[in-house]
Amino acid sequence: MKSSLFPRNALVCIFLAAGCAWPGTFWAQSSAPAAEQIQVTGHYDNAVGSSDAASQGTIRAELLKSRPALRPGEVLEFVPGMIVTQHSGDGKANQYFLRGFNLDHGTDFATSVGGMPVNMPTHAHGQGYSDLNFLIPELVQRIEYRKGPYFAKGGDFASAGSADIAYRSRLDEPFGEVTLGQRGYQRVVAGGSAEVAPGLSALAALEAMRNDGPWTLPEGLRRTNGVFTLSGGTAAQGWQASAMGYRARWTSTDQVPQRLIDAGLLKGQPFGRFDAVDPTDGGDTSRYSLSGEWHNTSAAGTTKVSAYALRYRLQLISNFTYALDRPATGDQFMQRDERTVTGLAASHAVGYTLFGLPARSEAGLQVRQDRIAVALFDTQARAVTGTTRDDGVRETMLGLYGQSAVELTPWLRGIVGLRADQLGVKVDSRLLAANSGAASAHQVSPKFTLVAGPFSQSAKTEFFINAGRGLHSNDARGTTIQQDPKTGNPQDKVPALVASRGYELGARSEFMPGLQSSLALWQLDFDSELVYLGDAGATEAAAASRRHGVEFNNRYTPVPWLLLDADLAWTHSRFANGGRIPNAVDRVASIAATVRNIGPWSASLQWRYLGSGALTEDNRVRSQSSVTTNLRLGYQLAALRAFGKGSELTLDVFNLLNRQVSDIQYFYASQLPGEAAPVADRHVHPAEPRALRLTWRVGF
């Protein structure tokens, strides 16, 4: 890898792309021809003419209010084709499934909240670890999602897609909510905003939550959360500053082998689906951040600048193989991650006329540095018995992008963009000096989109061609490693950056009143699928891969009070050698009906399908598909209105039909206490049984 920051031709190409003329992802709404749009008011901003890909869109807060979410991270299930599950304690990052990826805890799907990235590179548990448990759903204003590496603004981890979650800076009214549920679930959240001085607004929100869950060993989850925001100015010229704080601790019931569930006995004692093999697994995490944003729109263009700093900590204790490596003491291990993250983003966009055609260009810079102390320990009942790795890491990612846009005709617009990324890492291995070192890498990623339509006021249909190069970073420790920390055997280094290439053909139509439909045929290739094994301290190499599939999404409002959603996705996933990609799910689906404002009543019913996928490369073992149904009923309590504000009761029912399905399934070898030899088996983490939660919300 070259150590220079950027090749000269990369810098030249970026600013040529920003200064020449082809319309962009960011300019579709401003440069697209005016079209009569059918808005699904209060839910989606996905009308014809509103985006530059069939797989791009915006989810508004009103939709988030209409459906229940078992965990905060499940707000991402509103992204069509995304499924969110959990394989351990609820203080741990979720598992994400999208476009044939088991994204693990976030790799290849970039997420941000309030302008701050959530994904953690070189994380103790997994590359790109994305913990959304600090999210307060009541504060979400919108979610802007994109799939594929077609967008110049998207950098590390954005190959499969990305989602930017925007928080509110003002609330319609102060509110308080109390939720009580089965199995020890309790949650209190309150928030409000006010003008504290002329042109200056403040918002504050606090959350406290606890839950034991259905597990025989109570989860004992305790979560506290807070947000404070100051904002001033207008949508054209203004600023915002936020402080956030989050802390959680829990006891885990991790995945267990199917043979143990089938036998129903562990060391002579009864064992069921919700029992734990190691009762001392668990975790403790915290996240504290400061962020600020400034924007200005004038005749000279639009300028945006944002900055952030956060302090993060995780201590995670797990045991997935039980007594395979250390029969006498057990295989429990602790992963510890402590880091300080700082970052800056700046962009400038300007509109102009090029050869008589409306055009717009943007250039931007993004920089992030992580200073990390990351370690892996052997433990027994949470007591440290040995150290596998202990590293100090400094990791810096710099991205420059340029994108230009032109409206070629009233029905044709195009996009070209270019992005350059530079990654530099320095690893200080405190136990094994041979694994210390520095590495760097750069990549230039071109992007292209062409959008045709709508062709007339009556033909509300448009077509998309998207292509782009993307990337994800590898764990910094893998770029400098020379010896396996457990065995001492020689270990090959891995590249710091891995390239992806994506292509998509899409269409979006409003061929009948109230219906928005989109169809996307896509393909995504990766040069390799290297995985850093957080429980082993080494990197597992995998071959290049190809995924392709079809997505069909529909939003239908036959009458103003009814919204029908149907999202269907099919994926074909293979390594370059023809083998199956383990945990790549073939099909997912979500169908929902939402009723609003039928007198004091509202309701939502969602059917959710996670299909089967290969658990081994030879497809000999496959996961079992799962179907769950969630229900929400809401009732406005007009009799309890106070000071002109409203009160509402909401009943959420998760897994309405009480199906015995799994949130996650793996296939690997483990050895239970008392077993004479390892056994290759399916390991599962059950989905929660039927659960009821009742919420009382009061506005002041």
Residue 71: per-residue pLDDT? 95
Residue 304: per-residue pLDDT? 97
The share of the chain scoring above pLDDT 90, in percent, equals: 82
Cβ count within 10 A of residue 690: 15
CA distance 57 to 468: 18
Closest to 89 (Cα-Cα) out of 270, 279, 246, 373: 279
Give me the torsion for CA of 177, 179, 184, 185, rounded to 10°.
Answer: -90
Residue 138: per-residue pLDDT? 96
The predicted model scores a pTM of: 0.92
Residue 39 above 90 pLDDT? no
Residue 458: per-residue pLDDT? 76
Residue 17 above 50 pLDDT? no
Strands of 381-460 (E only): list them.
383-409, 412-429, 437-452
**Mean pLDDT, range 350-379, rounded to an integer:** 96
Q: 619 in a domain, yes or no?
A: yes
Residue 43 above 90 pLDDT? no
**Mean pLDDT, range 64-72, rounded to an integer:** 91
Residues 403-458: tens digit of each pLDDT: 999 999 999 999 999 999 999 999 999 999 999 999 999 999 999 999 998 987 77
Q: Which amino acid is at 58?
A: T
Residues 578-630: tens digit of each pLDDT: 999 989 999 999 999 999 989 999 999 999 999 999 999 999 999 999 999 99
Q: How far apart are the first and last CA of the chain?
A: 59
Classify 464 as helix, strand or coil: strand
Greater model confidence, 3 or 285? 285
Residue 181: per-residue pLDDT? 97
Classify 138 as helix, strand or coil: helix
- DSSP output for 62-80: HHHHHS--SSGGGGGGGST
Residue 625: per-residue pLDDT? 96
Residue 535: per-residue pLDDT? 54
Residue 20 above 70 pLDDT? no
Per-residue confidence at 552, pLDDT binned at 50, 70, 90? very high
Residue 488: per-residue pLDDT? 87
Residue 540: per-residue pLDDT? 65
Closest to 221 (Cα-Cα) out of 253, 269, 267: 253
Q: What angle do CA 276, 278, 284 make, to 5 degrees?
A: 95
What is the average pLDDT value for the chain, to the nearest integer?
90
Q: 343 in a domain, yes or no?
A: yes
Residue 226 above 90 pLDDT? yes
Residue 12 above 60 pLDDT? no
Residue 628: per-residue pLDDT? 97
Residues 370-411: tens digit of each pLDDT: 999 999 999 999 999 999 999 999 999 999 999 999 999 999
Distances (CA, A) of 615 to 103, 190, 666: 14, 43, 6
Distances (CA, A) of 540 to 429, 491, 499: 19, 10, 17
Q: What angle do CA 8, 9, 14 make, to 5 degrees?
A: 105
CA distance 665 to 682: 7
Q: 234 in a domain, yes or no?
A: yes
Residue 650: per-residue pLDDT? 96
Closest to 664 (Cα-Cα) out of 93, 81, 78, 68: 93
Greater model confidence, 301 or 487? 301
Residue 10: per-residue pLDDT? 39
Enumerate residues 6+ apart whose C-beta is below 8 A from 430: 390, 391, 392
CA distance 315 to 106: 18
Residue 190 above 50 pLDDT? yes
Residue ranges making up the domain that contains 694: 8-699
Residue 1 above 50 pLDDT? no
Residue 344 above 90 pLDDT? yes
Q: 419 in a domain, yes or no?
A: yes
Give me the torsion for CA of 308, 314, 320, 322, rounded to 10°.
Answer: 170
Residue 268: per-residue pLDDT? 86
Q: What CATH number is associated with residue 25?
A: 2.40.170.20
Greater model confidence, 42 or 348? 348
Q: 340 in a domain, yes or no?
A: yes
Query: Per the structure, how many domains does the chain have?
Result: 1
Per-residue confidence at 297, pLDDT binned at 50, 70, 90? very high
Residue 640: per-residue pLDDT? 57
Residue 45: per-residue pLDDT? 64
In residues, how long is the chain? 700
Classify 30 as helix, strand or coil: helix
Enumerate residues 6+ apart whose C-beta is below 8 A from 643: 700
Residues 650-675: tens digit of each pLDDT: 999 999 999 999 999 999 999 999 89
Residues 563-582: tens digit of each pLDDT: 999 999 999 999 998 999 98
> What's the order of all strands across the beta sheet hosting 95-98?
83-85, 95-98, 101-102
Q: 2 in a domain, yes or no?
A: no
Per-residue confidence at 641, pLDDT binned at 50, 70, 90? low
Q: 3 in a domain, yes or no?
A: no
CA distance 679 to 216: 25
Residue 530 above 90 pLDDT? no
Residue 104: per-residue pLDDT? 75
CA distance 697 to 188: 10
